[in-house]
Amino acid sequence: MLALEGIRVLDLTHLAPGALCTMILGDLGADVIRIEAPPSVGGRGAGLGTSPTGNEGRKRAAFDALNRNKRSLGLNLREERGREVFYKLTQTADAIVEGFRPGVVKRLGVDYETVKAINSQVVYCSLSGYGQDGPYSKFSGHDINYISIAGVLDLIGQSEQPPVVPLNLIADFAGASLHGVIGILTALVTRSKTGKGQYVDIAYSDGAMSVITWFISQHFSNGALFQRGSTWLHGAYPYYGVYEAKDGKYVTIGCVEPWFWENLCRALGKEEYIPYCISPEHFLHKPEGDKWTEISSFLKQVFRTKTRDEWFDFLSQKDVPVGKVYSLDEVFSDPQVLHRQMVIEIEHPTVGKVKQPGIAIKLSETPGKVRRLAPLFGEHTEEILQELGYTKPQIDELRQTSVIG
């Protein structure tokens, strides 16, 4: 048994953050149906994030982890009969996830109020940049815009340098994808108590702010501003930072707690540095005094005397928080990553063995599972329509008139 077995999710998303949200639900057992517009529909976003087609697309689909554990239904929601199919599907759904700009699903006739009238138990989740209301709700945007509005971007980078643009991990994936999963699961738990569904409004920008809750709390408490590049969290202090090793690779040190810093100092034969550990004022400003410069200089020099892996093997045995900075291709042979099954190998009928990221949520009784690889476009259209009671002649007619694909 899988944790979300019996839960059906209709996936109207077309970008990676939405796909990750529904992937997680699928990994945990939900029957996720991707509803994708046929290529003939056109429009500015035509083909954006759409499942691949044909034999050439099979390899791409095999490695597309974001859309594993999903079925693909090619459906033109701009056509009345396409919406009729969607409404029938809605009667069988537990959750619907969409990622359009506010107002689009209403124009298509697949918004929450319409769906609620058909199935009051549906949990309907919208992922949008700034949420469904407010002065920015209709604005376009991307991760970089949302994290700038949320106060995140100003905190990333070096002192007296422009902010450093991170990968789109904060607003897109932490802010939208993960908060979306939490919102949907919370609403499903509530439904089990009340029998009613509800609307889940997830904003990328809200989620980005949520991620920095600790920093915001400190600001409201004591006015802390956390100047970019100036605190221990930015690597401004030597006990928390990145150091180049002998082989040109990098090692990370996270000796925030005084006892870990003491372990590092003893391991390096520098007991006199032990008193120079974390202090409350390190949250607010850069290191002050020649001793900090001396310690930083020493650490930079000493870490160049061994390779990255030598330092990791040595310091991890001294109970020092140490990490190897991996390039992406190195991650997949790390013993901890392999032990945690965060790299999995799956047999594909035509492509052969393919590797994908594993399932991060570990459940003891109902663990997640990759039951199917990502679909080709419309691969399950006929199968899904037959489940809804459509006959073969009806399906053929809908296909001929481009209602389905």
Instruction: Tell me what percent of the chain is helix, strand and coil, each rounded to the nearest 5.
Output: 45, 15, 45
Selecting among 133, 142, 285, 396, the annotated active-site residue is: 142
Spatial neighbors of 292 by CB under 8 A, at least 6 apart, are 237, 238, 276
Instruction: For strands 199-203 and 70-74, give the pairing.
Output: unpaired
Rounded to an integer, what distance in angstroms lies between the CA atom of residue 283 and that of residue 270? 24
Selecting among 11, 111, 172, 206, the annotated active-site residue is: 172
DSSP character string of 12-62: ---SHHHHHHHHHHHHTT-EEEEEE--GGG-STTTTTTPPP-HHHHHHHHH
In terms of Cβ atoms closer than 10 Å to its own Cβ (0-12, 13-18, 19+), residue 378 is buried
The reply to whether 380 belongs to the active site is no
Q: What is the DSSP letter of 158?
A: -
Rounded to an integer, what distance in angstroms lies between the CA atom of residue 143 and that of residue 172? 6
Q: Residue holding tokens 């100036």? A: 230
The reply to whether 172 belongs to the active site is yes
- Provide the annotated active-site residues: 142, 172
